[in-house]
């Protein structure tokens, strides 16, 4: 399969397509159609990744490798395993939906808007697929530029503050990671990721490297207390920006922990796992309460994202405590599987929730919860979708939200009952803030004449939400194929975790 | 003096071939000076175009010179190596670009005079001589030829009071710096007994490391280099001169003279005083950290883009010094890559300021960039590329420059310095982002006019910005050139 250059296609097709769309500056409609074609084509080209994927091996697949910068020993080196492949599918799928969802409600500089999303898509695919740290870092940072522009140009009233905060927060974390990567490069002699993973390192080195990685990934996830950029960015971003931010960009942080922190610095991860577990539990419990008191719908969903991402990091770093507590390695994979499923599921659900808010915002131009009430009376179809996604967000069995949370709670039980107890509060708190949101917005009597004048979903919106609803249900009811794909990779990672890299 | 003792006429004449680009440039500059007298005042652009052609031909001559290892010619006064070749080509190209940007600007400001180009050519000649200097005498000669031309260029707009003020400031401070440098050189001569760089190097290697006189001389040399590069605490002249000069001179000072100052640092520190690397690298650490700190922090408060870019220069000099102070070949390569890429980006950024300037209007306020995306999406995109590159965001050339110098300092175990550097680069990102914000997030002012500029200028400026992106995506070739230049 590698001779098809499938991954390169997924990286470069949207980027080049994005620049073509930029050229259609004066033809708004042309720009829209062109973007749809490019994003659909990218999505179609990503399907062979799933169908042609060899399950049962942790080796990288669809590998492409070419020399890139000889003096730095950096290669153009792409490949996917069971962890990154589903994330690439999520990216291509979400981008199509974003393009469709933004069809009419963006009227200012349409070509630039669409082009930003396409370029962003290519860069994100590249981040998930790169197996060379230099390539990874370049794409990781370059990703900030389109998002910076998206929030800043098409965002809300405080967009400038929000977007600069977003950029600088992420930038400061990333540059520290850069120093760590350079350090690793100088020791290993090349930027190849596999080399970093196999190289022995002292605990002191690992600790510093772990902290540098932590700075980059914790900001991206985001973990408490470096989460404050997220509510601002989400509130000010246009709907499409919020969707991509929540559905994919946050996953970069989780992915970074899986691909960099855990395998490159396993000993430091073990000695500092208490830090991550504590911050994750704070995110789940404390941020859950914070979400409860929000008045702005987007802010509420943003805080809910932070709480749910806390589950992702918890699932990853619970592994060491499981071994310590039970003396056996069974259960580690539960946590890792749960973390990856939770990332994918949260991508679908949070994207859908932001799209739902976008649907209402387009009609009423308010994100305040108090501006709504009784929406079900005027928008029954919409209400059905919103309730479905809300239930998924609170982890109802049968939806994708349940699978990831269940696996992670199961894993934390093996480590410590109290972790499981605290983690499980998300089921209560998540249900509380999400359902209370639905109760206030969707149900009850019609609140005002703006709500009374609402029109139900048009075909385009129905298509987008319908596709997401289908995905949420499929993953929820029949997660086995997904777990199958990732099993070998998470098992391999679990092994890597347990092998000390400290030189005796 | 050793060089004079062994002076040999026939050898000297044979060595002239190595200096043929410089000789060609000198003769052509004289010819253009004459020709300019014969031109009607409305045909002055011809002088500019001819100067660009001369620069390009000189560049071709430099490229055609066969260089194996290091050639010392003209009785030790002149030295030709790969580093000289690369820096010369970079300088000639960048000056050609600057001239193209300037023709339009000078015409619109009604100060299109031949002097600008002729002085610029002689300054470039000075730069070339400095780059190829094999002895402290030639080094100083080249430096002064360049500096004197620059003083005159700053003042050449006679009507402008602020330009005259800047010229005086520049002249007084610059002369002081030259004096300090000269004093340091004289001490070096006293200690080592030679003016030839190669001989100073061997004398300094041979057990002079702890000589107090040598360290004394190094301190003065560092002050001089710090002045010419514009490193804190010798940076005072930079903001005022950058702001006060006509923009077409600012860009000259901000690009060509930086390359020359880099060559000055390279010839004096690693080459002549390589044996004392521990002494001067400690001094450079202070200069470097202060430059990154002051440059980035003060730039935040600027509302004039020329002043902002001035402080940004100071911060970038801090990064270049990181490469030099590491004292390894990798570090020097990284510093050279940094300087060349910085000059490329700075030429583009000042070029944008020149492009936006109109009749009787400097366009040097940050707010003049407001809503540029609505006025010209293409050039807003170009400026965004340049700004992200200055901020060190990939996939632009500025990122690889930063990566290189950070790699160099981490390589010698100074990881703390790398952390300081990247943190200050985050501070710096803020003010570059502010320009992007003005261009993209704000609407244009009421009286905004469409972006002008001749076709030539627009093409060259676009090529300049696109080069920043293309080299950023495939930096291998330029990195390789810098690697070969310094072994």
| Average confidence (pLDDT) over A121-127 | 93
Helix locations, A373-416, DSSP H:
375-378, 380-393, 400-415
Residues of B in contact with A189 (CB under 8 A): none
**Eight-class DSSP state of A368:** B
Cβ-contact A373, A445 below 8 angstroms: yes
- State whether residue B474 sits within 8 Å of chain A by CB: yes
Interface-testing mutation among B394, B444, B484, with chain A (most A C-beta atoms within 10 A): B394
Residue of A nearest to B472 (CA): A138
pLDDT of residue B232: 87
Residue of A nearest to B484 (CA): A71
Cβ-contact A206, A187 below 8 angstroms: no
**What is residue A177's three-state secondary structure?**
helix
| Average confidence (pLDDT) over A345-360 | 91
Nearest to A410 by CA among A307, A498, A306, A339: A339
Interface-testing mutation among A175, A208, A238, with chain B (most B C-beta atoms within 10 A): A175
What is the C-alpha separation between B252 and B387, in angstroms, rounded? 19
Half-sphere exposure in the Cβ direction for B444 (13 Å, CA): 13
Whole-angstrom CA distances from B423 to A135, A176, A204, B289, B294 are 22, 8, 22, 11, 13
pLDDT of residue B86: 93
Q: Which pLDDT band holds residue B106 (cuts at 50, 70, 90)?
A: confident
Q: For residue B355, is pLDDT > 50?
A: yes
Tokens matching residue A488:
């070998």
B5/chain A closest Cα distance in angstroms: 44
Nearest to A19 by CA among A110, A112, A108: A112
Say what percent of chain A tops pLDDT 90. 34
DSSP state string for B152-186: HHHT--TT-HHHHHHHHHHHHHHHHHHHHHHHHHH
Helix locations, B18-135, DSSP H:
20-38, 45-64, 82-108, 114-131
Residue with tokens 């060349």: B340
What is the C-alpha separation between B24 and B16, in angstroms, rounded? 11
Tokens matching residue A330:
């069974």
Q: Which of residues 23-62 of A touch B (CB under 8 A)?
A: 25
**What's the start-to-end Cα distance of chain B, in Å?**
29
Determine which helix (DSSP H) or strand (DSSP E) holds B73, and give its type and residue range: strand B71-73
Residues of B in contact with A144 (CB under 8 A): 393
**Interface contact B415-A183, CB threshold 8 A:** yes
CA angle B465/B467/B468 to nearest 5° reads 65
Q: Which pLDDT band holds residue B441 (cuts at 50, 70, 90)?
A: confident
| Average confidence (pLDDT) over B114-136 | 93
**Interface contact B422-A186, CB threshold 8 A:** no
Q: Which of residues 328-387 of A touch B (CB under 8 A)?
A: none
| Nearest-CB residue to A153 (from B407, B433, B440) | B440
Classify each residue of A273-301 as buried b or exposed e, where b means 16 or more C-beta atoms within 10 Å of its C-beta: bebbbebbbbbbbbbbebbbebebbbbbb
A242/chain B closest Cα distance in angstroms: 18
Other C-beta atoms lying within 10 Å of the C-beta of residue B439: 25
Tokens matching residue B36:
């300019």
Q: Using H for helix, E for strand and C for coil, what is the string for A408-449?
A: HHHHHHHHCHHHHHHHHHHHHHHHHHHHHHHHHHCCCCCCCH
B303/chain A closest Cα distance in angstroms: 18
Residue of A nearest to B431 (CA): A164
Q: Residue B258: which residues within 8 A CB-CB, separation 6 or more? A: B229, B230, B313, B317, B339, B342, B343, B346
Q: How many CB pairs under 8 A join A and B?
A: 92
Helix locations, B206-357, DSSP H:
212-229, 237-244, 247-266, 277-299, 305-325, 329-356
pLDDT tens-place string over residues A15-49? 999 999 988 888 888 888 999 999 999 999 988 88
A331/chain B closest Cα distance in angstroms: 38
pLDDT of residue B207: 65
pLDDT tens-place string over residues A181-200? 999 999 888 899 888 888 88
What is the C-alpha separation between B276 and B274, in angstroms, rounded? 5
Q: Residue A35: which residues within 8 A CB-CB, separation 6 or more? A: A17, A21, A99, A114, A115, A117, A118
Tokens matching residue A286:
């404390």
pLDDT of residue A1: 45
pLDDT tens-place string over residues A160-176? 899 999 999 999 989 99
Residue with tokens 């306020």: B365
| Nearest-CB residue to B395 (from A142, A159, A168) | A142
**Interface contact A171-B480, CB threshold 8 A:** no
**Eight-class DSSP state of B444:** P
Nearest to A411 by CA among A344, A321, A489: A321
Of A101-110, A243-252, B147-156, B404-413, the one with minimum mean pLDDT is A101-110
Residue with tokens 């739902």: A356
Tell me the pLDDT of chain A averaged across its residues: 88
Q: Residue B266: which residues within 8 A CB-CB, separation 6 or more? A: B83, B324, B332, B335, B336
| Nearest-CB residue to B406 (from A70, A168, A179) | A179
Q: For residue A111, is pLDDT > 50?
A: yes
| Nearest-CB residue to A69 (from B425, B433, B479) | B479
**Interface contact A153-B441, CB threshold 8 A:** yes
- State whether residue A1 sits within 8 Å of chain B by CB: no
| Average confidence (pLDDT) over A212-223 | 91
- State whether residue A168 sits within 8 Å of chain B by CB: yes
Which residues are paired to A130 by β-bridges?
A78
**Interface contact B393-A70, CB threshold 8 A:** no
Residues of A in contact with B419 (CB under 8 A): 176, 179
Tell me the pLDDT of chain B averaged across its residues: 88
Residue of A nearest to B416 (CA): A179
Q: For residue A214, is pLDDT > 60?
A: yes
Highest mean pLDDT among A357-366, B43-52, B180-189: B180-189
Interface-testing mutation among B384, B386, B403, B487, with chain A (most A C-beta atoms within 10 A): B403
**Interface contact A178-B403, CB threshold 8 A:** yes
Q: For residue B135, is pLDDT > 70?
A: yes
pLDDT of residue A458: 86
**What is residue B196's three-state secondary structure?**
strand
Q: Which pLDDT band holds residue A417 (cuts at 50, 70, 90)?
A: confident
Tokens matching residue B263:
């060559």
**Interface contact B394-A137, CB threshold 8 A:** yes
Q: Which pLDDT band holds residue B362 (cuts at 50, 70, 90)?
A: low
Q: Residue A398: which residues within 8 A CB-CB, separation 6 or more? A: A473, A476, A477
pTM of the model: 0.92
Residues of A in contact with B487 (CB under 8 A): none
Residue of A nearest to B385 (CA): A145
Say what percent of chain B tops pLDDT 90. 54
Other C-beta atoms lying within 10 Å of the C-beta of residue A411: 29
Of A38-42, A323-327, B246-250, the one with minimum mean pLDDT is A323-327
Q: For residue B87, is pLDDT > 90?
A: yes
Residues of A in contact with B373 (CB under 8 A): 109, 112, 153
Whole-angstrom CA distances from A176 to A201, B52, B107, B355, B416 are 18, 43, 47, 37, 11
B453/chain A closest Cα distance in angstroms: 21
Q: For residue B2, is pLDDT > 50?
A: no
Whole-angstrom CA distances from B320 to A85, B132, B262 are 41, 20, 9
What is the C-alpha separation between B471 and B338, in angstroms, rounded? 13
| Nearest-CB residue to B441 (from A68, A152, A178) | A152
Nearest to B27 by CA among B100, B89, B90, B118: B118
Q: Which pLDDT band holds residue B295 (cuts at 50, 70, 90)?
A: very high
**What is residue B376's three-state secondary structure?**
coil
| Average confidence (pLDDT) over A396-424 | 87
pLDDT of residue B385: 94
**Interface contact B440-A149, CB threshold 8 A:** yes
- State whether residue A141 sits within 8 Å of chain B by CB: yes
A74 phi, psi to nearest 5 deg? -110, 135
Q: For residue B4, is pLDDT > 70?
A: no
**Interface contact A164-B474, CB threshold 8 A:** no
| Nearest-CB residue to B430 (from A72, A137, A168) | A168
Nearest to B396 by CA among A206, A304, A36, A145: A145
Question: Would you put residue A489 in left (φ > 0), alpha (ψ -120 to 50) or beta?
Answer: alpha
Say what percent of chain B tops pLDDT 70. 96
- State whether residue A113 sits within 8 Å of chain B by CB: no
Q: Residue B102: which residues within 8 A CB-CB, separation 6 or more? A: B48, B116, B248, B251, B354
Tokens matching residue B330:
């990798």
Cβ-contact B399, B393 below 8 angstroms: yes
A439/chain B closest Cα distance in angstroms: 37
Burial class (CB in 10 A: 0-12, 13-18, 19+), A27: middle
| Nearest-CB residue to B429 (from A152, A160, A171) | A171
Whole-angstrom CA distances from A198 to A188, A260, A501 are 9, 12, 8
| Average confidence (pLDDT) over A298-302 | 90
| Nearest-CB residue to A182 (from B381, B388, B406) | B406
Cβ-contact A14, A248 below 8 angstroms: no
Q: Which pLDDT band holds residue B359 (cuts at 50, 70, 90)?
A: low
- State whether residue A71 sits within 8 Å of chain B by CB: yes
Q: Residue B436: which residues within 8 A CB-CB, separation 6 or more? A: A148, A149, A152, B383, B384, B387, B388
Cβ-contact A14, A119 below 8 angstroms: yes
Residues of B in contact with A184 (CB under 8 A): none
What is the C-alpha separation between A432 and A435, in angstroms, rounded? 6
Q: Which of residues 179-208 of A touch B (CB under 8 A)?
A: 179, 182-183, 185-186
Q: Which pLDDT band holds residue B215 (cuts at 50, 70, 90)?
A: confident
Tokens matching residue B416:
């703390």
| Average confidence (pLDDT) over B314-336 | 93
pLDDT of residue A55: 86
Q: For residue A388, is pLDDT > 60?
A: yes
Classify each residue of A242-271 as buried b or exposed e, where b means 16 or more C-beta atoms within 10 Å of its C-beta: bbbbbbbbbbbbbbbbbbbbbbbbbbbbbe
| Nearest-CB residue to A72 (from B410, B419, B479) | B479
Whole-angstrom CA distances from A480 to A403, A475, A483, A487, B308 are 10, 8, 5, 10, 58
Residue with tokens 């003396």: A327
To the nearest 10°, the Cα dihedral for B244, B250, B253, B256? 180
Q: Using H for helix, E for strand and C for coil, what is the string for A243-276?
A: HHHHHHHHHHHHHHHHHHHHHHCHHHHHHCHHHH
| Average confidence (pLDDT) over B87-93 | 95
CA angle A104/A109/A113 to nearest 5° reads 75
**Interface contact A179-B429, CB threshold 8 A:** no
Q: Which of residues 395-424 of B touch A (CB under 8 A)?
A: 395, 399, 403, 406-407, 410-411, 415, 418-419, 422-423
């Amino acid at each position: 399969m590698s001779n098809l250059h499938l991954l390169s296609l997924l990286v470069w097709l949207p980027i080049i397509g994005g620049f073509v769309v930029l050229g259609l500056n004066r033809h708004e409609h042309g720009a829209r159609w062109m973007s749809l074609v490019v994003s659909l084509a990218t999505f179609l080209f990503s399907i062979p990744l799933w169908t042609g994927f060899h399950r049962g091996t942790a080796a990288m697949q669809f590998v492409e490798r070419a020399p890139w910068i000889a003096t730095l020993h950096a290669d153009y080196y792409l490949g996917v395993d069971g962890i990154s492949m589903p994330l690439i599918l999520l990216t291509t799928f979400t981008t199509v939906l974003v393009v469709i969802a933004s069809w009419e409600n963006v009227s200012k500089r349409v070509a630039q808007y669409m082009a930003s999303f396409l370029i962003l898509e290519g860069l994100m695919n590249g981040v998930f697929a790169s197996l060379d740290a230099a390539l990874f870092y370049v794409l990781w940072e370059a990703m900030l530029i389109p998002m910076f522009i998206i929030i800043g140009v098409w965002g809300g009233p405080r967009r400038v503050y929000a977007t600069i905060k977003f950029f600088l927060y992420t930038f400061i974390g990333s540059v520290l990671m850069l120093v760590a990567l350079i350090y690793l490069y100088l020791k290993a002699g090349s930027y190849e990721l596999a080399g970093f993973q196999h190289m022995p390192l002292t605990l002191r080195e690992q600790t510093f490297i772990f902290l540098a990685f932590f700075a980059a990934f914790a900001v991206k996830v985001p973990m408490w207390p470096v989460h404050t950029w997220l509510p601002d960015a989400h509130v000010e971003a246009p709907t499409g920006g919020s969707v991509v931010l929540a559905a994919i960009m946050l996953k970069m942080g989780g992915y970074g922990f899986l691909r960099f922190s855990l395998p490159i610095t396993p000993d430091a991860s073990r000695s500092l796992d208490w830090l991550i577990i504590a911050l994750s539990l704070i995110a789940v419990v404390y941020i859950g309460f914070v979400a409860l008191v929000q008045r702005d719908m987007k802010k509420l969903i943003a805080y809910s994202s932070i709480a749910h991402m806390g589950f992702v990091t918890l699932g990853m770093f619970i592994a060491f405590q499981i071994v310590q507590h039970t003396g056996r390695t069974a259960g580690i994979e539960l946590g890792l599987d749960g973390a990856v499923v939770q990332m994918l599921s949260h991508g679908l659900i949070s994207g859908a929730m932001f799209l739902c808010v976008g649907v209402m915002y387009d009609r009423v131009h308010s994100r305040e919860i108090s501006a709504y009430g009784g929406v079900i009376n005027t928008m029954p179809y919409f209400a059905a979708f919103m309730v479905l996604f809300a239930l998924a967000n609170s982890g109802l069995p049968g939806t994708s939200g349940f699978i990831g949370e269940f696996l992670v709670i199961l894993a934390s039980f093996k480590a410590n009952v109290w972790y499981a107890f605290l983690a499980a509060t998300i089921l209560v708190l998540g249900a509380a803030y999400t359902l209370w949101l639905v109760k206030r917005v969707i149900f009850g009597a019609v609140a005002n004449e703006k709500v009374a004048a609402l029109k139900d979903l048009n075909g385009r919106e129905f298509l987008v939400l319908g596709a997401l609803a289908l995905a949420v249900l499929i993953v929820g009811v029949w997660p086995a194929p997904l777990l199958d794909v990732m099993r070998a990779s998470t098992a391999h990672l679990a092994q890597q975790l347990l092998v000390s890299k400290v030189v005796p | 003096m050793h060089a004079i003792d062994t002076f040999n006429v026939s050898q000297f004449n044979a060595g002239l071939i190595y200096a043929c680009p410089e000789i060609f440039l000198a003769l052509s500059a004289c010819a253009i000076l004459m020709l300019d007298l014969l031109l009607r005042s409305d045909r002055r652009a011809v002088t500019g175009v001819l100067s660009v052609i001369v620069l390009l031909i000189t560049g071709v001559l430099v490229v055609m010179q066969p260089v194996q290892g290091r050639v010392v010619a003209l009785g030790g006064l002149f030295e030709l190596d790969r580093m000289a070749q690369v820096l010369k080509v970079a300088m000639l190209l960048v000056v050609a670009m600057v001239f193209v940007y300037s023709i339009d600007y000078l015409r619109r400001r009604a100060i299109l005079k031949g002097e600008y180009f002729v002085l610029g050519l002689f300054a470039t000649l000075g730069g070339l001589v400095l780059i190829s200097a094999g002895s402290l005498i030639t080094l100083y000669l080249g430096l002064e030829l360049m500096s004197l031309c620059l003083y005159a260029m700053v003042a050449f707009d006679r009507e402008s009071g602020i330009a005259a003020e800047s010229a005086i400031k520049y002249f007084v401070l610059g002369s002081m710096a030259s004096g300090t440098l000269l004093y340091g050189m004289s001490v070096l001569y006293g200690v080592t007994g030679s003016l030839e760089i190669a001989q100073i190097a061997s004398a300094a290697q041979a057990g002079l490391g702890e000589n107090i006189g040598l360290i004394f001389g190094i301190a003065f040399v560092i002050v001089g280099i710090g002045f010419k590069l514009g490193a804190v605490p010798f940076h005072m002249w930079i903001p005022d001169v950058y702001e006060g000069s006509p923009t077409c001179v600012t860009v000259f000072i901000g690009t060509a003279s930086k390359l020359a100052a880099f060559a000055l640092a390279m010839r004096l520190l690693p080459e002549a005083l390589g044996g004392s690397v521990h002494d001067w690298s400690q001094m450079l650490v202070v200069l470097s950290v202060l430059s990154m700190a002051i440059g980035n922090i003060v730039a935040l408060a600027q509302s004039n883009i020329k002043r902002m870019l001035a402080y940004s220069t100071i911060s970038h000099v801090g990064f270049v010094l990181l490469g030099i102070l590491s004292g390894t070949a990798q570090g020097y390569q990284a510093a050279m890559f940094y300087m060349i890429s910085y000059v490329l980006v700075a030429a583009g950024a000042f070029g944008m300021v020149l492009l936006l300037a109109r009749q009787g209007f400097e366009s040097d306020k940050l707010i003049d960039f407001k809503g540029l995306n609505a006025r010209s999406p293409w050039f807003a995109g170009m400026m965004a590329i340049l700004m992200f590159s200055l901020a060190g965001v990939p996939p632009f050339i500025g990122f690889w420059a930063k990566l290189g110098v950070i790699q160099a300092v981490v390589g010698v175990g100074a990881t703390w310095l790398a952390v300081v550097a990247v943190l200050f680069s985050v501070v710096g990102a803020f003010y570059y982002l502010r320009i992007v914000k003005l261009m993209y997030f704000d609407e244009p002012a009421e009286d905004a006019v469409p972006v002008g500029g001749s076709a030539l200028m627009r093409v060259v400026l676009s090529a300049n910005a696109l080069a920043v992106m293309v080299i950023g995506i495939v930096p291998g070739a330029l990195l390789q050139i810098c690697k070969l230049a310094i072994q």
